[in-house]
Structure 1
């Protein structure tokens, strides 16, 4: 009987020890979670996956959340007001335009991390030369994209744009030998507008996201030059000036400039997105001599 009591007492002690150890581990795990710095990044839906990838890489140190918005102005406002710590949306021309319009103090952190070229596409023609006189050609109607897309039409030899125009529009076209109708449309309506147009400019990312049937119905007539792409369109991290030296900004930027990120990006987006941050940081590409390949998958 005494042996049985001693056995039960020992068993109870063991249960108490294990329970205390489990509680200690739970408290330690909860404390570790609480100690992680919470970071919120404003994005469009198309960019959420990229921030989620970075969040996974930095999950030991930060709790990074992608806050999804339906349009760019709200993303910029959230960063300017401090409700988000940063955003991943801006290229330098758009950021400059936004700061001037809204009097904000947002900065472009370090350098671009991704890039994506713009195409001229058509459902009706198979080359630039085939585009007829008085054809209807569409570009985006927002400052973030319009100047870049007009520049592509100029690169293709279709028009000439006034170099003095800060945010050029169709009104700044100085030469138009085919008398094209340059139509400015909402960037969100690009795909739906295709049947009513002779040609239009379209980011590779948008083209990549179209359904296969629509893609096959289109021909890519021209692609933005590497130089224009790297000079104008780099997408990067945007935050308030006061956050410029924050450790999380450096950590997020560094994660997006790794070889692992570059490989993942190219595979995930079939080459429609270019890991320009990695290329620039590794020396594989420079602003003076940009050169990268976009796979011909279409």
Structure 2
């Protein structure tokens, strides 16, 4: 697959000149260690604050920005980056199962509720029969979106399926048309569909505020555990001291405050609710 990501700052040249991704980092000077963190989109407000604090400890955290969910784990697997932070645990588990890889979570970050958004209606009760709803097309986020539609009493799905697909819809009383799109396209499709299920990060990147603009937001309860967002590393780097410092710098009261400020309360510090990892 042709790589579509762009590397922030001087990461591209670092890859070429220094063969990054080994956890030792490509130091900007003799004292600092560089860690490449794969992220989706340009919303790095929370990480920016962590980045500043890590710099005081001699760790230069550099972002590698990707545009599609299929990319960051491949880059991590191949050693092109050191860590990534874009996915929930269920997504990682499914990736490992499909690819035969052994990427692991080394720290919880946030719980980012999935939302239903619309430019056509302001309440789900306004959905007409045959309305079109866009959902992500990857296995885990698509299944999560269908579960959300069920929670909203729009459809009924087979409860025995962990990651349901549209073929697992048992009841669809309004004959809704479920359109599967690449996750990054669900926000862009809002003008063309009646409603769209959008991941929190994609929504924020599109200028949406989940707790204000979503017409229905995923409830947070015990069933949310598989959808807690994480920091991922290669199995052999699970106990890397530098990477553990990154987790420590993230899981702080200060970061929780920034999460609250930047998400307007929509995102929840997951380590407080579900533990370190």
Task: Compute the TM-score of the two structures, normalised by the length of structure 2.
Answer: 0.79
Question: Is the alpha carbon distance of 1:234 and 1:222 closer, same or farther for their aligned partners in structure 2, counting shifts above 3 Å?
Answer: same
Q: Is the 8 A contact 1:106 1:240 kept in 2?
A: yes
Map of 1:249 onto structure 2: 243
Map of 1:9 onto structure 2: none
Larger Rg: 1
> 2: distance between equivalents of 1:154 and 1:70?
29
* Structure 1: segments with no counterpart, 5+ residues: 1-30, 283-298
Map of 1:193 onto structure 2: 189
User: Deviation of residue 87 (structure 1)?
Assistant: 0.9
Map of 2:15 onto structure 1: none
Cα RMSD (Å): 2.5
User: Deviation of residue 46 (structure 1)?
Assistant: 3.2
Question: Is the alpha carbon distance of 1:67 and 1:221 closer, same or farther for their aligned partners in structure 2, counting shifts above 3 Å?
Answer: closer
Question: Is the alpha carbon distance of 1:208 and 1:53 closer, same or farther for their aligned partners in structure 2, counting shifts above 3 Å?
Answer: same
Map of 1:223 onto structure 2: 217
Map of 1:78 onto structure 2: 75
Report SS of the residue matched to 1:145: helix
Correspondence list, 1:22-33, <5 A: 33=29
> 1: distance between equivalents of 2:105 and 2:219?
23
Question: Is the alpha carbon distance of 1:196 and 1:80 closer, same or farther for their aligned partners in structure 2, counting shifts above 3 Å?
Answer: same
Question: Is the alpha carbon distance of 1:74 and 1:189 closer, same or farther for their aligned partners in structure 2, counting shifts above 3 Å?
Answer: closer
Map of 2:160 onto structure 1: 164
The C-alpha deviation readout for 1:62-100, integer Å capped at 9, x for no partner, is 222222222232211121122222111221111111112
> 2: distance between equivalents of 1:219 and 1:88?
24
Map of 2:7 onto structure 1: none
The C-alpha deviation readout for 1:174-218, integer Å capped at 9, x for no partner, is 111111111112222223322221222123443334358xx8xx9
User: Deviation of residue 32 (structure 1)?
Assistant: 10
> 2: distance between equivalents of 1:83 and 1:184?
30
User: Deviation of residue 154 (structure 1)?
Assistant: 0.3
Deviates most, 181-190 or 255-264 = 181-190
Aligned residues between the structures: 247
Question: Is the alpha carbon distance of 1:225 and 1:45 closer, same or farther for their aligned partners in structure 2, counting shifts above 3 Å?
Answer: same
Map of 1:143 onto structure 2: 139
* Structure 2: segments with no counterpart, 5+ residues: 1-26
> 2: distance between equivalents of 1:104 and 1:115?
24
> 2: distance between equivalents of 1:219 and 1:238?
30
Task: Compute the TM-score of the two structures, normalised by the length of structure 1.
Answer: 0.74
> 2: distance between equivalents of 1:205 and 1:102?
25
Map of 2:270 onto structure 1: 276
> 1: distance between equivalents of 2:50 and 2:213?
34
User: Deviation of residue 229 (structure 1)?
Assistant: 7.1
Q: Is the 8 A contact 2:187 2:196 kept in 1?
A: no
Map of 1:235 onto structure 2: 229
Question: Is the alpha carbon distance of 1:91 and 1:255 closer, same or farther for their aligned partners in structure 2, counting shifts above 3 Å?
Answer: same
Question: Is the alpha carbon distance of 1:192 and 1:45 closer, same or farther for their aligned partners in structure 2, counting shifts above 3 Å?
Answer: closer
Map of 1:182 onto structure 2: 178
Q: Is the 8 A contact 1:125 1:219 kept in 2?
A: no
The higher relative CO (CA closer than 8 Å, separation ≥ 6) is in 2
Higher percent of residues as helix: 1
User: Deviation of residue 150 (structure 1)?
Assistant: 0.6
